[in-house]
Amino acid sequence: MSRSSFSRLVVLVCLFVVLAAWLPAPLAAAQEPTAPGAAPARAPSPAPEKKEVKGFTLSPEKYQQAIAYRRARYWHHFLGFAYGVLVLLVVLRLGWAPRFRDWAERVSGRRFLQVIVYTPLLLLTLAVLGLPSDLYGQWLSLKYEQSVQSWPSWFWDWTKGQLIGFVIGIVFIWILYGVIRRSPRRWWLYFWLASLPILIFLLFLAPLVIQPLFFKFEPLEKTQPQLVPEIEKVVARGGLTIPRERMFEMKASEKMKAVNAYVTGFGASKRVVFWDTTLQKMTPGQALFVFGHEMGHYVLGHIPKLIATIAGTLLVFFFLGYQLLGRTLGRWGAGWGIRGVDDYASLPVLLLLLSLFGFLADPATNTISRHYEHQADIYGLEVIHGIVPDSAQEAGQAFQVLGEINLADPEPSTFIKIWLYDHPPLTERIVFAQTYDPWGKGEKPEFVPAQ
């Protein structure tokens, strides 16, 4: 359901937030590689016997597990944010950022080389201090059987994530402080403008370069040849053209139990991806609904809309950061050893402000996300109608399987829903899937024309 709050702080440093927000996430809010070599074509693992679904239900044992797991996750979210703020305050109080700046200035008088030295030192310090929160999050996933990833594998992924963050952070921080020095009063606008094309490029690059660093991908035609024609029917029904060579199976099962399918990238990087867990735990009809939902995000323009929303939000955040950064440094900067706004050592202060803004904006951004997720549910139901028999039940059963695997909260409070849920609760989604029937009522479907 949520990333580690402290990890989000590091993400905000390099403005990786847009990319992180649109890397594949499970169909419902909650949240490797196999041995190399050719894998023989195979059919999906036998799915559990289907039963009629009218609402999200759990066995007594699963119910208690879900309540315990979700409550722990909720506490982790809020306490993790507070812990991240505390870490930043400690870094400022102990003067580590000015110390890193001094080391960088001794290495070279050239700004770019200084950033190459300063950025990894600061980001690694924040990441290491944030490890307790990240480790606890992984421990929870293992305890409640949401993750099957070994600790060595988890640490290796953590290391790769830091290295990627260093590279991206160096670029953004170099641009940020270059702009601040050239335009002290308009840096917030010019930096925002400069960051947008880089972020869009990262979204293009992610499926080609970044995602394969964490998971193995194989052609879907090779691993699931019997499913490809059914996917093509759904893709054609939605008016998309995605050739078979851009359909892939992602080996998620060695790291997690969540299920997912998605369309990602654009232009030359556009592709269809099914997690192998989805094909193992769902029937083909359920898997096609999951795919139809994710395809809905793509067809309905949710990705560019959300990027535009986040971009607008970042513009507001940068402006507020500009307004408050100078005042904060004017009051406490000297004691922290920070020379001014254009000093690299001011970065933890800006990061602190941005993280506070982001935390307070969560209810608004999640409300927008829930709206998009509901639209994607509608699209998923419409795009498989007539292709998948009894599509409403297949969708409801997909949600039920998803909730059982992810230990979804069966009774989230209104506060938790508003503040943390970027998807509607599963019970609401199942009820909607069972009652949405424009075809039977003689009405026009909302997104996909009736066939």
Compute φ and ψ for 343, nearest 5 degrees: -85, 130
DSSP type of residue 444: P
pLDDT surpasses 60 at 3:
no
Cα 277 from Cα 263, distance rounded (Å): 16
pLDDT surpasses 50 at 32:
no
CB atoms within 10 A of CB 378: 20
Q: What is the pLDDT of residue 139?
A: 97
Higher pLDDT, 4 or 51: 51
264 Cβ neighbours under 8 A, 6+ residues apart: 22, 24, 206, 207, 211, 270, 271, 273
* Distance between start and end Cα atoms, the chain: 36
Laid out side by side, the sheet with 247-250 consists of 217-219, 247-250, 271-275, 261-264
Q: What is the pLDDT of residue 213?
A: 94
Integer CA distances (angstroms), 32 to 35, 150, 375, 382, 429, in order: 9, 10, 31, 33, 30
Radius of gyration in angstroms for the set of CA atoms belonging to the chain, rounded to a whole number: 23
Q: Which DSSP string corresponds to 199-265?
A: HHHHHHHIIIIIGGGTS-EEEHHHH-TTTHHHHHHHHHHTT----GGGEEEE--TTTB----EEEE-
pLDDT surpasses 80 at 330:
yes
Cα 85 from Cα 79, distance rounded (Å): 10
Q: What is the pLDDT of residue 51?
A: 62
Mean pLDDT of 379-389: 95
pLDDT surpasses 50 at 28:
no
User: Residue 101: helix, strand or coil by DSSP?
Assistant: helix
Task: Find where tokens 């054609």 sit.
Answer: 236
Q: Model-level pTM? A: 0.86
Q: What is the pLDDT of residue 272?
A: 84
pLDDT surpasses 80 at 160:
yes
Angle at 384 between CA 381 and CA 388, to 5 degrees: 115
Task: Find where tokens 């209810």 sit.
Answer: 363
Higher pLDDT, 205 or 345: 345
Q: What is the pLDDT of residues 198-254, one digit of tens each?
A: 888 888 888 999 999 999 999 999 999 999 999 999 999 998 888 889 889 999 999
Mean pLDDT, rounded, of the chain:
87
